[in-house]
Structure 1
Amino acid sequence: MSHLSYLEAIVVGAFQGVTELFPVSSLGHSVLVPALVGGRWAADLNVSTPESPYLAFIVGLHVATAAALLLFFWRDWVRILGGFVSSVRHRRVRTPAERLAWLIIVATIPVGISGLLLEHLFRTTLGRPIPAAAFLLANGLVLYAGERLRRRAETAAGAAEATDALPAADGADAPGAAQDAGAAADARLSRMSVGRGTLIGSAQILALLPGISRSGITMVAGLLRGLSHEDAARFSFLLATPVILAAGVLKIPDLFGPLGAGIHGQVLAGSIASFASAYLAVRYLTRYFQTRTLTPFAVYCVLAGAGSLAWLTLT
C-alpha cells in the first residue's frame, strides 16, 4: 500500500473524524467515497480486501478520533476515572461518578465482544459499496423513525424531558453542580439503570454494519429509552470513546508490520486530519443537539444512500 497518497490519507482522515461522530457512518463513507470517486481511489482504498491495509489505516485513525473525544470531554473523564478508582477502593457504587463509570464499562461489553467475533465477517461479506449504500439508506430511515417515535412518546407523556423524569441521584443537587453543565449532565446520565444503559450501549453492535452510524444508532436507542437529544448525544460520545480507542489500538500493530510498510507518513497526516475534524465535529454537535434533532442527518443518509445505490447499480 506504499502508493497511498497523502491526498487520499488526508481526505480519508478528515472524513473519518467527521463521519465517526456525525450520525452518518464513518465506515459506510470509507467504503462509498472511494467507490464513487473510482479510478485509483477505488483500487487503493478497498476495505473488503482480505487483510486490507486500508482497513488497518482507517481503524488506526480511530486513535486520533478517540484522542479528540478525550480532549473535549477531559473533565468528564477525570470525574469518571476518579469515580472508578474510588468505587474500587471503597468497594461501593454510590456517587454519580461511580455509577457512570460502571455504567459505561458494562454498556460497552456487548459491542466489545461482538466486534471481536463479527468484525471480520461483516467487513468481508458486507464491506462493499452496494451493501454500504443500502445500510446508509437504512440508517437514515432508522434516524427518522427514532425521531417520530420520540415525538409521539413526548406527546403522550406531556412533552416532558425524559431525563428530568429519571429517579433522583445521590449528589445530583450538590452545591456547584448547577454551575458545571458537564457535571450536571453526567449526574443525569448516572441515574439510568444498568439495564437501560446496557441496552443503549448494545445498539453500537449494529454499527459493525458499514452504513449504520455508531453515534446515530446509539442516540436513537437513548431517545427511545427516555434521554433528551443533548444527553443522548453526550452518552453516545462517552460510550464511543473506549470502543473507538480499543479498535484503533488493536489495529495499530498492523501499521508497524507489513501492512503499514511505506505509509507511516500518510498515517500521520491522516491522523492529524482525523483529530482536527473530530474535535470540531464533537464541539459542534454538543451544541447542535441542545436544541435540534436527528432529522437533517436522516434526510442526508436517505438521499446519499439512495443516490449511491442508483449510481452504483445503474452505471
Structure 2
Amino acid sequence: MSLTYPEALIVGALQGVTELFPVSSLGHSILLPAVVGGRWARDLSVSAPESPYLAFLVGLHVATALALLVFFRRDWVRITGGLFSSIRTRRAETPDQRLAWMIVLATIPVGLTGLLLEHTFRTVLGKPVPAAIFLVLNGLILLVGERVRRAAAAEPSAAAGAAGPAGPAAPAGSVAVLARVDADRRLARLGFGRATLIGSAQILALLPGISRSGVTMIAGLGRGLSHTDAARFSFLLATPVILAAGVLKIPDLFGPLGAGIHGQVLAGSLAAFVCAYLAVRFLTRYFETRTLVPFGLYCVAAGLIGLALVA
C-alpha cells in the first residue's frame, strides 16, 4: 500500500472536522474510502490488522489533540495547576481542582475499555456496513436525546442542573477568559459521579459511526448542562483520550507500518490540526444558540445513503 498525498490531505481534513463535530470521524474514515472505491478502498482500510492506514491515523489523532490543547491552552494551564495543587494539599476544594479530578475520573472508563476492546471493535466492526448502521444509530441518539432534553426542560424543575444559561457570546480578551472560568465553575458543580457517567459515554465511540462528542454531549444534556457547557466538557474530556490514543501508538509510525509514508503523515496531520482548530472554534460559538438536531439529521441521512451504496 502507498498512501498518496491527496488521500492524506483529504482524510486529514476530514478527521480534523469529524472528530469534533458530532458525526463520528471513524465512521467517515471507513465509509468515504468504501464509497469512492478503487485505490481508496484498498489503501484506506482500518480493519486490516497490519494496514499502514492505522499508522497514518495515529498522526491525525495527535494533531487533533494538539489543536484542542492550543485552543483551550489557558484553560488547561488552570486545570493542570488545580490538579497539582490538589495533589499537594490532598484536597479538591476549588473549581479548578474539582474539574481536574472530574476529567481524570471521567476518562478512566473509556481508557480501560479502549485498551481491552479497541482492536476487537476495529477489526470486527471496522467495515463499511457496520459503520453506516452505527452512523444512523448515532443520528438517532442525537435526535432522541434532544427530544428528551426539550421535554425535561418543559418541566418546572428541569432547570435545576449544574449549568445556567450560556448567555451571549463573550468578546475576546479578559471577558472571554472570565466566561470560561464561569463555565468551569458550573461544570465543577456536576459532582464526580455525574462527571464519570458523562465520560463513560465515550465508550460508545469505540463503535465505528458513533461520535465521541455527540454521545458525550447528550449525556451532559441529560445531566442538566446547557449546550454550551456540554460541548465544552465534551472537548475537555476528549483531549486526553485522543492524545493518549495517539501517543500510545506513535511507535507504529516509526516501525514497518509507517515506512514510506512519513511525508503523507505530516501533510495529513497539518490538515487535521488546522481543520480541528477551526472546527472547535466554530462549535463553541455554534452551541451558544443551536442544538444537535442538524447533526442528527445529517448522520441518519449519511448513514442510510452510505449503507445503500456499500451494502
TM-score range for the pair, normalised by the shorter chain length:
over 0.9
Looking at structure 1, the residues matched to 187 and 135 of structure 2 have their Cα atoms a distance apart, in angstroms, of 29
1:51 Cα offset (Å)? 2.2
Looking at structure 2, the residues matched to 179 and 269 of structure 1 have their Cα atoms a distance apart, in angstroms, of 33
Equivalent residue for 2:219, pick from 218, 221, 224: 221
Q: Give the match for residue 302 of structure 2.
A: 304
Amino acid at match of 2:8: A
Q: Give the match for residue 201 of structure 1.
A: 199
Q: With structure 2 as the length reference, what TM-score do the two structures score?
A: 0.95
Q: Give the match for residue 79 of structure 1.
A: 78
Q: Between the two proteins, what is the percent identity of the paired residues?
A: 72
1:252 Cα offset (Å)? 1.1
Equivalent residue for 1:290, pick from 288, 301, 304: 288
Looking at structure 2, the residues matched to 215 and 144 of structure 1 have their Cα atoms a distance apart, in angstroms, of 14
1:177 Cα offset (Å)? 8.7
Looking at structure 1, the residues matched to 77 and 247 of structure 2 have their Cα atoms a distance apart, in angstroms, of 21
Q: Tell me: CA distance 1:30–1:194, structure 2 relative to 1, closer, same or farther (3 Å).
A: same
User: How many matched pairs?
Assistant: 303
Contact 1:177 1:184 in 2 (8 A): no
Contact 2:163 2:229 in 1 (8 A): no
Q: Give the match for residue 103 of structure 2.
A: 104
Alpha-carbon displacement from aligned partner over 1:179-228 (angstroms, at most 9, x marks no partner): 71111101110111111000000000000000000000000000111111
Q: Please give the secondary structure, in 2, of the residue aligned with 1:210.
A: coil
1:161 Cα offset (Å)? 6.8
Q: Is 1:45 equivalent to 2:44 in the alignment?
A: yes
* Structural mapping, 1:28-67, within 5 Å: 28-67=27-66
Looking at structure 1, the residues matched to 14 and 161 of structure 2 have their Cα atoms a distance apart, in angstroms, of 33
Q: Give the match for residue 169 of structure 1.
A: none
Q: Give the match for residue 92 of structure 2.
A: 93
* Structural mapping, 1:223-302, within 5 Å: 223-302=221-300
Alpha-carbon displacement from aligned partner over 1:27-77 (angstroms, at most 9, x marks no partner): 000000000000000000011001222122113211100000000001110
Say what the alpha-carbon RMSD is for the aligned residues: 1.6
Looking at structure 2, the residues matched to 187 and 209 of structure 1 have their Cα atoms a distance apart, in angstroms, of 32
Contact 2:33 2:40 in 1 (8 A): yes
Instruction: Show structure 1 runs of 5+ residues with no match.
Output: 166-175
- The list of structure 1 runs, each at least 4 consecutive aligned residues, that deviate by more than 6 angstroms after superposition, is 176-179
Amino acid at match of 2:276: A
Instruction: Show structure 2 runs of 5+ residues with no match.
Output: 165-173
Alpha-carbon displacement from aligned partner over 1:99-140 (angstroms, at most 9, x marks no partner): 000000000000000000000000010000000000000000
Q: Give the match for residue 126 of structure 1.
A: 125
Q: With structure 1 as the length reference, what TM-score do the two structures score?
A: 0.93
Contact 1:44 1:54 in 2 (8 A): yes
* Structural mapping, 1:159-178, within 5 Å: 160=159, 162-164=161-163
Contact 1:150 1:224 in 2 (8 A): yes
Q: Please give the secondary structure, in 2, of the residue aligned with 1:156.
A: coil
Looking at structure 1, the residues matched to 177 and 53 of structure 2 have their Cα atoms a distance apart, in angstroms, of 45
Contact 1:161 1:228 in 2 (8 A): no
Contact 1:21 1:281 in 2 (8 A): yes
1:257 Cα offset (Å)? 0.5
